[in-house]
Amino acid sequence: FSGRPKCYSLHLGILPFIVLVLVFFGYGFLSHKIQEFRNPGGETCMATRQTDVQKVVSVPRMAYPQPNVLTPIRNDVLVFTPWLAPIIWEGTFNIDILNEQFKLQNTTIGLTVFAIKKYVVFLKLFLETAEQHFMVGHKVIYYVFTDRPSDVPQVPLGAGRKLVVLTVRNYTRWQDVSMHRMEMISHFSEQRFQHEVDYLVCGDVDMKFSDHVGVEILSALFGTLHPGFYRSRRESFTYERRPKSQAYIPRDEGDFYYAGGFFGGSVVEVHHLTKACHQAMVEDQANGIEAVWHDESHLNKYLLYHKPTKVLSPEYVWDQKLLGWPSIMKKLRYVAVPKNHQAIRN
């Protein structure tokens, strides 16, 4: 029994040393495993964090002059309607900001155009200039309504852009062709367009794009100020003034006179507009009356009581031959092609 206390004392002296060694090696092993779990590739956490920082820095910067709330955008034109819809003129928007926002939404735009009978001759220039100026950098589907599908020209299209030919019947009178546009757009909005595009732009084929027309025009519902009436008082607007017509607008009502050759919005809103205009024209026909400016008269009636969320300046519909180029127009974006109306319509 006399040796046991010495052995016991020795064990007590070695035990703390063993515990210390186990703790040291155990900590190293755990640290290594945790590092592998966090960074399986074997890189350090600092390297990973540096990579993350680089990813953040690589995001495109939005560098542009700060807006100044005390400086008017333009003081020579009206830039907001009384219901706070913006009126789009050159100088009232930054297209770089808008392009980034609409690209984030992965927006697809449909452009409808009617090339019926002799009007098919305008289609090549329309499409070629659209490729140069219309929604550049965005996905676009051209919807060409025509009674002559074999005459639709082959125009080279950019990436993300395509052409769809929709065959429709023609009508004897050009007025009927014009009015049935509302019916066709309404029908295809419900049956097809809502599944393929986010916005619809509806234009005339006897026009050409001569400058930028981009996402600055897009909104739930937009109309364009008619180039012949943007300076006029409402009393002189060529609204339908006969109460018998569904397009009737009294002389003491009206905001602007909108052009029938360029309007649009979301597919849902365009469907509502075109369906309402078509139904109104059907009712007029049943009552033996035809609005003075056909579908344009009904468009103006609709936009009076269903306010557009954007209004485009006459930069977006212009006739330089008739109206020249006044200084107030910084750009002419969508302009009439010179033609003999009588020869084309007959």
- Render pLDDT for 198-223 as a digit per residue (tens, 0 to 9): 999 999 999 999 999 999 999 999 99
Phi and psi angles of residue 161, each rounded to the nearest 5 degrees, phi first:
-130, 140
Which of 3-17, 51-65, 291-305, 328-342 has the least mean pLDDT? Answer: 3-17
Domain boundaries, the chain: 87-345
Report, as an integer, the average pLDDT of 110-131.
Answer: 96
By CB atoms closer than 10 A (0-12, 13-18, 19+), residue 243 is exposed
- Residue 294 — left, alpha, or beta (φ > 0 → left; ψ -120 to 50 → alpha)? left
Contacts of 340 (CB under 8 A, 6+ apart): none
- Alpha-carbon distances, residue 330 vs 57, 73, 153, 235, 315 (angstroms): 37, 14, 32, 28, 8
Distance CA(87)–CA(71), nearest Å, equals 17
Annotation says 296 is catalytic: yes
- In tens, the pLDDT along 139-153 reads 999 999 999 999 999
- Residues in a beta bridge with 140: 109, 161
Predicted local distance difference test score (pLDDT) of residue 318: 98
pLDDT surpassing 60 at residue 65:
yes
Distance CA 182, CA 112 (A): 11
How far out from the chain centre does Cα 59 lie? Answer: 24
Whether the pLDDT of residue 166 is over 50: the answer is yes
For the cut 50, the answer to whether the pLDDT of residue 135 exceeds it is yes
Strand residue runs (E) in the chain: 87-88, 108-115, 139-146, 161-167, 199-203, 207-209, 221-224, 262-266, 310-312, 334-336
Type of residue numbered 65: P
Give pLDDT tens digits for 227-267. Answer: 999 999 999 999 999 999 999 999 999 999 999 999 999 99
CA 329 – CA 288 distance, rounded (Å): 41
Residue type, 160: G
- Weakest-pLDDT range from 43-52, 168-177, 263-272: 43-52
Q: What is the pLDDT of residue 344?
A: 62
Judge residue 153's burial from the number of C-beta atoms within 10 Å of its C-beta, 0-12 exposed, 13-18 middle, 19 or more buried.
Answer: middle
Q: Across all residues in the chain, what is the average pLDDT?
A: 86
Query: Do residues 67 and 93 make contact, with C-beta atoms less than 8 angstroms apart?
Result: no
**To 5 degrees, how large is the angle CA 279–CA 280–CA 282?**
65
> Which one of the listed residues 90, 131, 240, 296 is annotated catalytic?
296
pLDDT over 80 at 9, yes or no: no
Binding residues for Mn(2+): 204, 206
Q: How far is C-alpha 145 from the chain's CA centre?
A: 21
The answer, yes or no, to whether residue 3 has pLDDT greater than 50, is no
- Amino acid present at 143: Y
If you classify domain 87-345 with CATH, what class do you get? Answer: alpha beta
- Size (the chain), residues: 346
User: Contact, 85 vs 307, CB < 8 A?
Assistant: yes
Q: Which residues contact 21 (CB under 8 A, 6 or more apart)?
A: none
Token readout for 74 is 């333009």
Binding-site annotation, residues: 114-116, 119, 204-206, 226, 238, 296, 319
Whether 52 has a pLDDT exceeding 50, the answer reads no
Residue 238: helix, strand or coil by DSSP?
coil
Measuring CA to CA, which residue among 121, 163, 158 is closest to residue 141? 163
